[in-house]
Amino acid sequence: MPESDLFAREALVVAQPKRSRWRRYTGPALAVSTVEGTLLAQVTHTDDTRSLLTSVSGEYVVRIEKSSRFGQFGPVRFRFIDATDHEAGTVDARGPVKTGQLSLRTAHGRALLLTRRGLLSTEWQLTESDPHRSPAPEVLGRVTVSTVDGWLGLQQYAVVTDPRLDTSERRTVVTSVICLHLLRRPPDSSSTPA
């Protein structure tokens, strides 16, 4: 599936695939699918600093590279590298609660913010200005998290974007949701979500 088809949709679901409680899981870390459940792409972690988004057919879509100057206590930056080996966007997370707000930059330089509505909220809003400082910024999308398996704590993120966003902007938004999951539940971590 071409990248343009994957990110042309206004609504996608990024979720941890269901797995057996009794067997070691060896599948992808995350699955990207339509709202109806059709699998479109998968995310695998190559190590703690790199993840790979591939289509169902195995075609490389985006590589996510994570860097942090001061380990888990300092700011974290994610870079997205597309199939042509060009930077396709970035995400920056700062502050003591790094999942409170993510600063996104698309391949074309557009700055966006993915901001949690409150400390205990399960919804993030996509805007161009800070909703905590501006009176009422225009909402360009929403990300809602839910738990699909309470026993294992598997997470699902429903991503809905404004029809005015282009394919490269949607790519940045969907990839930032993968980064959000990595911040909340790092690979091979048994820690509770932030």
State yes or no: pLDDT of 89 exceeds 50.
Answer: yes
Give the pLDDT confidence score for residue 3 in this predicted structure: 59
Q: Is residue 184 predicted with pLDDT exceeding 90?
A: no
Question: For position 68, what pLDDT does the model report?
Answer: 86
Segment 126-139 shows an average pLDDT of: 82
Rounded average pLDDT over 152-176: 94
Show the beta-strand stretches assigned E in the chain: 11-15, 30-33, 39-45, 50-55, 60-68, 76-82, 87-93, 101-106, 111-116, 123-127, 141-149, 154-161
Q: What tens digit of pLDDT does each residue of 114-131 get?
A: 999 887 889 999 999 887
Q: State CA 69 to chain mean position distance.
A: 21
- The answer to whether residues 181 and 32 touch, using CB atoms and an 8 Å cutoff, is no
pTM of the model: 0.90
Predicted pLDDT of residue 133: 75
Instruction: Find out whether 53 and 40 touch, Cβ atoms under 8 Å.
Output: no
Task: Give the chain's mean pLDDT.
Answer: 88
Terminal-residue alpha carbon distance, the chain: 33
Type of residue numbered 70: F
How far is the C-alpha of 51 from the C-alpha of 35, rounded, in Å?
23
What secondary structure does DSSP assign to 156-177, as a single string? EEEEEE-TTS-HHHHHHHHHHH
pLDDT tens digits, one per residue of 17-76: 988 888 888 889 999 999 999 999 999 988 888 999 999 988 999 999 999 877 667 889
Q: What are phi and psi of 150, to 5 degrees?
A: -65, -30
Q: Any idea what DSSP says for residue 193?
A: P
- pLDDT at res. 1: 55
Domain borders along the chain are 3-17+28-184
For 3-17+28-184, give the CATH class: mainly beta
∠ CA 146-152-156, nearest 5°, is 25
Does position 2 have pLDDT exceeding 60, yes or no?
no
